[in-house]
Amino acid sequence: MRQTSIIDIISPIMVGPSSSHTAGAVRLGLLARNMYNGTPKKVTFRLYNSYAKTGRGHGTDKGLLAGFLGLGVDDVGIRNIFDLEISKNFEYKFEYLEDFNRHPNAVDFVIEGTPNIVISGDSIGAGEVVINKIDNFSVKLNGKYNTLLLIYKDIPGMISNVTSKIPVNIASLNCDRYAKGEDASMCIALDGELQEDIIASIRSLPSIYIVRYIKKLES
């Protein structure tokens, strides 16, 4: 069973009013920001279901944008993020949708720029979030661990090639692929930190297209 922490129960310190709809939105935004790792041309935030229906009253729209711009859950700048200078760095819009196949608090970040990427996640309650899709790959990223995300060609030995270079304990490992021998994704949650040279050595492995090191969330 997954072990919970008392600190998770008596925190975070956050801007209200809703852990799932405000703080969760900020954290999803922060994770999407760290995954994209660049300045986009345009971001379309697609809010689904409860996020779509009650998002404005809960500041979900503000939270998603604020997180994507790097503000933490306790930053009072969230309140007037639309007026802040940093929110003018790229174009953005919000879409409000219904889809009963999606989680009640689901969001897509449709990011246009170099590259174009769609990142999807859910706010699963009490401020906890999970990013579960990048483009069409299933991933699993909750911001609690430093995580290495790879997109690569599905070839034998790839997992051991990568993991043999990682000197710290691996907390979880999730892989997905389109089909045998096609593009695949690997999401490695780590108990410790990775140094830049290790990440570079993984990046230099053959048949790896994208490597992202996504730091765990501070708040």
Chain positions contacting another protein, by CB under 8 A: 1, 3-23, 50, 53-54, 56-59, 74, 76, 78-79, 104-105, 124-127
Of the two residues 26 and 134, which places its CB atom closer to another protein in the complex? 26
Minimum CB distance to another protein, residue 53 (Å)? 6
DSSP classification of residue 119 = E
Give the residues across from 196 on adjacent strands. none
| Token digits of residue 177 | 């692929």
Of the two residues 128 and 135, which places its CB atom closer to another protein in the complex? 128
Minimum CB distance to another protein, residue 194 (Å)? 17
Of the two residues 7 and 179, which places its CB atom closer to another protein in the complex? 7
Minimum CB distance to another protein, residue 91 (Å)? 24
**Whether 132 contacts 138, CB under 8 Å:** yes
Of the two residues 4 and 114, which places its CB atom closer to another protein in the complex? 4
DSSP classification of residue 3 = P
Residue type, 57: G
**Whether 67 contacts 33, CB under 8 Å:** yes
Of the two residues 79 and 102, which places its CB atom closer to another protein in the complex? 79
Reference 188, options 178, 200, 176, 179; nearest CA is 176
Minimum CB distance to another protein, residue 74 (Å)? 6
Distance CA 61, CA 21 (A): 9
